[in-house]
Structure 1
Amino acid sequence: MATTNADSEPAGNSLSRGSALEQLPPRDTTTLVRTVRDRLRLAIALAEIPDGKLNQVQVARQLGVSRMPIRAAIPELVAEGLLESLPGGGVAVRPLTETDVRQVYEVRLALESQAVRSAAEHGSDWNLRQIQTIVDTHGRAFASYDAAKLLAADREFHMAILSASQNQHYQRSIVPVWSIVERAMVSVLHITTVFDNAWTEHAEIAGPLCDRDPDAAEAAIRRHLGDAAEKLVTSLAATIEA
């Protein structure tokens, strides 16, 4: 199994975190399937499961479960574009392409540019304070984060904006493509300036949000997502060529 190595971690990050494929504790079936799905999603994003046919027996053994929850989780991951069905049976990890990244960021731009306007106009004072708190808290700590924590911090910021929009369908709509977003982001985690710049840009989004300036907030998030898309496409292209 491929694992994230020291060269792919930002400077100062610890490699002491466990694998996304560590054995799971006993739990009820519904929760187990959901947890297996989340672990598989993260493992694919972190390249702990390489492209190619998914070895369900091996993954089940690593997680300490039967193949049932693996099989039950697969359809959702296929729908998200992380896995694809094979003609002869079974599924494979779907290779990530530049087209995937560009299309996913088109979706993000459409949803988040409108959501940030709604958040500025309709978000509660508590919502907006929470967004600023997220920026401040993670901005102070992210240099010590491992890959999974960096992804979680970025997710928390953007989901907070979608939640603050007061339109629950924004957040529901972004969920199916977010796995592709995080998988692409892993390709730039070794570039320490990327997340440094990202948190500066998050602060530039949070400022006009807290000032309830929808035009400035939308402009800031458009710059942020546009820059991110280009960096990810460039990084992915370099990885493919290598």
Structure 2
Amino acid sequence: MIATPLQTPASASVSEEVYRAIRGAILDLTLEPGSTISENALARELGASRTPVREAIQRLERDRLLFVFPQRGTVVAPLDLDEFRSAYFVRSSLECAAAAEAARLAGPADVARLRQHVDAHTAALAVADESTFFALNDAFHLEIMTIAGVPSVWSVVQNAKVHLDRVRIAHLTRASTYPLAPIVEEHRQLVAAIAAGTPDEAAAVMHAHIAKVLHRVDLLRDLRPELFEMPRELTAQIRTISGPAAAGRRLHSNDKSQ
């Protein structure tokens, strides 16, 4: 099951809510990488008509989270190392720059808000509330962007980091325990660097913080290689959609993980 039938708030269109519901199910692996999904089945499950579901599928195909194959159906994209590397580059570049700028600009009230975020993280960790913990994690990073004066840049990071989040959630739910306590400690170190007004240190702490995911993806590939694999019978159609180089990269990734 993806979700209960949609209850659309006035501020969101049905199409947007359907998109978010399916995207969330891909992100948390409710819809498994490599699995085939049905437009009709999704419409029934979400209590929506086929039109917003079709629109959502088109958006998710552009996001590289779905592949649509004529006469074959729609397939959830496997975890993709190329998309992962691109997302890592975007996030590392933008967030390290934001951390440095926040260290230059932060005042006492800004530092106080960051410390409140860390306290909330600590509380969520104490009760093992992973869902709240990761929502707070996003809020903390958005706060740094806001202090740096570039809150709108967070939307760029969010669009890219879905491919990092898929790895994180897959590691958490399909491989082994994802240690959360170090995240809180790294956030404390970030706050300390920003409070001290040391841009280079803030950028270095942020870089080390984000780089932890590189180890996670290697470990996940070793433990669950099938999450990175597209069914072999579909690789020719990927070549048609994405070009020979893209298909070759995916085949190469599959060969390395077998």
Shorter-chain TM-score bucket reads 0.7 to 0.9
Residue of structure 1 in register with 2:16 after alignment: 34
For the residue of structure 2 that corresponds to 1:21, the secondary structure is coil
Going from structure 1 to structure 2, the CA distance change for 1:93 and 1:60 (only over 3 Å counts) comes to same
For the residue of structure 2 that corresponds to 1:76, the secondary structure is helix
1:134-172 CA distance string (max 9 Å, x none): 111112222434553343222222222222221244213
For the residue of structure 2 that corresponds to 1:189, the secondary structure is helix
Structure 1 portions without partners, runs of 5+: 2-19
Deviation, 1:59, is 1.8
TM-score under structure 2 length normalisation: 0.76
Contact 1:21 1:59 in 2 (8 A): no
1:112-135 CA distance string (max 9 Å, x none): 111111111124543332222111
1:209-232 CA distance string (max 9 Å, x none): 122221111110111111222223
2: distance between equivalents of 1:177 and 1:130? 26
In the alignment, structure 1 residue 201 sits paired with structure 2 residue 183 = no
2: distance between equivalents of 1:208 and 1:175? 24
Deviation, 1:175, is 2.4
Q: CA RMSD in A?
A: 2.5
TM-score under structure 1 length normalisation: 0.81
2: distance between equivalents of 1:83 and 1:202? 33
Percent of counterpart pairs with the same letter?
Answer: 24
1: distance between equivalents of 2:156 and 2:102? 16
In the alignment, structure 1 residue 214 sits paired with structure 2 residue 234 = no
1: distance between equivalents of 2:21 and 2:73? 19
Going from structure 1 to structure 2, the CA distance change for 1:60 and 1:38 (only over 3 Å counts) comes to same
Going from structure 1 to structure 2, the CA distance change for 1:165 and 1:29 (only over 3 Å counts) comes to closer
1: distance between equivalents of 2:45 and 2:106? 43
Going from structure 1 to structure 2, the CA distance change for 1:136 and 1:146 (only over 3 Å counts) comes to closer
Going from structure 1 to structure 2, the CA distance change for 1:143 and 1:72 (only over 3 Å counts) comes to farther
Equivalent residue runs for 1:1-242 within 5 Å: 20-27=2-9, 30-50=12-32, 51-88=34-71, 90-189=73-172, 191-192=176-177, 194-240=179-225
2: distance between equivalents of 1:126 and 1:60? 47
What is the total number of aligned residue pairs between the two structures?
Answer: 224
Structure 2 portions without partners, runs of 5+: 226-256
Deviation, 1:94, is 0.5
Going from structure 1 to structure 2, the CA distance change for 1:85 and 1:35 (only over 3 Å counts) comes to same
2: distance between equivalents of 1:124 and 1:169? 20
1: distance between equivalents of 2:54 and 2:79? 22
